[in-house]
Amino acid sequence: MTQYHVSPQGKDSAVGDAQHPFKTISRAALLAQPGDEVIVHEGTYRENVDPARGGLDENHRITYRAAAGEARPVVTGSEVVTGWEKVEGNIYKLTLPDSYFGAFNPFTTKIFGDWLALPRPGVDDPKHIGEVFINGHQLYEVTRKDQLDNPELRETVEDYVTKKQVPVFDAKYTQYVWMSEHDDEAETTTIFANFNGEDPNEQVTEITTRPTCFFPSHHHINFITVEGFEFKNVATQFAPPTAHQVGAVGPNWAYSWRIVNNVIHDSKAVGISLGTSEETGDNEWYRTDRKPGFQYQFEAVFKALRIGWRKGVIGSHYVAGNTIYDCGQAGIAGHMGGAFSLIENNHIYRAGARRELFGWEVAGIKLHAALDTRIRHNYIHDCSLGMWLDWQAQGTRVSSNVFEKNCRDLMVEVSHGPLLVDNNAFLSPYTFEDWADASAFVNNIIGGVIQPHQVLDRFTPNHFPHTTEPAGASFVFSGDDRYMNNVFLNPAGEEGQMGMAAYETYPSSFAEYQQRNRDEIASGRVQGDPRLPEPIVAAGNVFTGNLPVSKHDKSGITMAEHLEIATEMKDDGLHMLITVPQALAEFTTPRVATVDLGVPRVVEERYENPDGSDIVVDTDLAGKPRQKLDNAGPLAGLHAGVNDIVVWKK
């Protein structure tokens, strides 16, 4: 094994050892062989690392890690720029020749892509993937010169799904704005900016010049470890599932990366991409509009199979211990390339919070085809949407996460299960937007609205268990869900869609579902199969604040008391202070296992581990063992009164 060292004080002509380090990570990445280690010392690296090769197996990885005992090395997609000229008032301009940018100019490259809702091509003024920073803070892009000296005219993007906006963060910098113009004849790019009274030549002023920080340009660069870095200021393009998905860091189309203990922020679109290959699509819907977008996405699955999308070849990544924030689209995103992965102990916040773009891919975590992927022990907050699992969330498990202050905590779309959602704390006003079948909610706190939907205009695939092999396709009829041992909150003291109210018209058994179908056919109202909601299974749930017990739940209880919950971040992690009524402390339910959950109607795969073994929900959100009879909700062994529990560790 060879160990290479990199330092800003080094030289790329050196030998790369501890005494004679390289200057760039890229130089080490060109030379590193399977089993080698690249030690990166503190400092700033203004480069895009494109690893030439990967490792051979788990025992012969290529590892890139921060030097122990030093500050994090910073890899940035931005350059410091000087020479700003004052135009008038607080407005400055900077004119750069196109040669400064080379082949990639973020200030002439517009945001575009399938499922991009805003800015809309031909309707809204175009925005760009470039960014301007002053002292580490992003400025907001405007599209007209009159907005430069009157930032109140700046348009913000509304979240079209919930009709609510994420609270503005870093309010001071909402008054710092920029726009760009290109002179085709002079081949120059001019950036105009209002720095709100600050002189950009006396501050650290930067612009993005690179599309990524650490991302291979080739496929199958496998067995890479990236640990301990800060990645920031990247001009990433919007990343839908039918295009090449690039992030500030990611494996491209590869197998078994370990992305651990990094800080990733200020990516225009995506922080970590576990996404798809360009060979499965390149925004054909956006470019041609020949077929519906879902048809292109359906075809992307089969294109991926032709280029090797299968277990042991693609996916199986480990993403852990990262802090990811201020990404315009998603903290973590991916289509197919993230299958069979483990995503744990990450802190993700303010995804989509700047509201400079909006599309149907915006969330703290947005994954398509997360087959057998486990997402656990993450803290996700202040996002437009906390987690969005789209298409083929089959064999997926979402366990022991904390969600709060999101516009919506969880959305699952056009999937047919089995999806297990257990031991989570959903603390935002809108818990679950359900455009899918066969989700099992076990031992969660459900703090907000649940809204189910049918999807009868597009069919989506399911797979043979624990593989990528297609087994069929179906519409979403809604239902076939399980709710067991959850605690439902009623913070407003109202009913509406709180609790399980949205499912009250659904059948309570498969026999009842079948009879409804027969009745519909016999009535002559339908020809062919009726498209009726599927059954709901429920047991052992607690409904607080006088929420009614669901008709589907024969063993649940209701209580008049509200559950008081507060969270506080301390040195050892996120504390939950929960005031437990006596009735909740005394009510116990049997722990849930695979045998209790049955089999989804469409997929016919058990709620089981990726290796086919049974699941037993025998630990709680904090990792405490759960007794055979224990409290409902995500926390075991509760006592009446105030309980102070660390629910997420730094």
- The average confidence (pLDDT) of the chain is 93
- Indicate the helix (H) or strand (E) that contains 7: none
What are the angstrom distances between the C-alpha of 298 and each of 265, 301, 391, 488? 32, 6, 9, 36
Residue 166 has a pLDDT of 42
pLDDT of residue 163: 39
Tokens 């990792």 locate to: 623
pLDDT higher than threshold 80 for residue 159 = no
Taking the CA of residue 256 as centre, how many other CA atoms within 13 Å lie in the half-sphere pointing to its CB?
15
Single-letter amino acid code for the residue at 58: E
In angstroms, the Cα distances linking 190 to 101, 151, 328, 415 are 12, 19, 23, 46
In this predicted model, what pLDDT tens digit does every residue of 29-82 receive, in sequence order?
A: 999 999 999 999 999 999 999 999 999 999 999 999 999 999 999 999 999 999
Q: What is the pLDDT of residues 335-373, one digit of tens each?
A: 999 999 999 999 999 998 887 777 889 999 999 999 999
**From start to end of 556-597, where are the E strands?**
557-558, 564-570, 573-580, 588-590
What is the SS3 assignment for 365?
strand
Please state the separation of Cα 382 from the chain's center in Å: 13
The Cα-based distances of 87 to 135, 149, 191, 256 in angstroms read 21, 11, 12, 51
What per-residue confidence (pLDDT) applies to 82? 96
Residue 620: pLDDT band (50, 70, 90) is very high
Question: pLDDT grade, residue 448 (50/70/90)?
Answer: very high
Tokens describing residue 141:
């892009």
3-class SS of residue 214 = strand
Residue 416 identity = H
Q: Does residue 172 have a pLDDT over 90? A: no
pLDDT band at 162 (very low <50, low <70, confident <90, very high): very low
Using a pLDDT cut of 90, give the percent of the chain over it: 84
Contact 1, 37 (CB under 8 A): yes
- For residue 81, give the nearest of 109, 101, 67 by alpha carbon: 101
User: Stretch 152-172: mean pLDDT, rounded?
Assistant: 47
Count Cβ atoms below 10 Å from residue 203 Cβ, excluding itself: 15
Six token digits for residue 192 = 């105009």
User: What is the reported pLDDT for 176?
Assistant: 87
- Per-residue confidence band for 156, with pLDDT thresholds at 50, 70 and 90: low
Residue 420's closest CA among 551, 268, 616, 584? 616
Count of alpha carbons within 13 angstroms of residue 612, beta-carbon side = 4
Percent of the chain with pLDDT over 70: 94
Terminal-residue alpha carbon distance, the chain: 32
State the Cα–Cα distance between residues 253 and 279, nearest whole angstrom.
10
pLDDT tens digit string along 297-336?
999 999 999 999 999 999 999 999 999 999 999 999 999 9
Across the range 589-596, mean pLDDT stands at 97
Cis amide prior to 418 (ω within 30 degrees): yes
Q: What is the pLDDT of residue 170?
A: 53
In 3D space, the residue among 247, 241, 276 whose CA is nearest the CA of residue 264 turns out to be 247
Residues 610, 86: Cα–Cα separation, whole Å: 60
Mean pLDDT of the 125-141 span: 91
- Give just the sign of the alpha carbon dihedral 499, 500, 504, 505: positive
E strands along 284-400, which residues? 318-320, 323-325, 330-335, 342-344, 347-349, 358-359, 363-368, 374-376, 379-381, 387-390, 396-399
Give the pLDDT confidence score for residue 149 in this predicted structure.
86
- Pick the more confident residue, 95 or 150: 95
Give the confidence band of 157 by pLDDT, cuts at 50, 70, 90. very low
130-146 average pLDDT score: 92
Per-residue model confidence (pLDDT) at position 153: 59
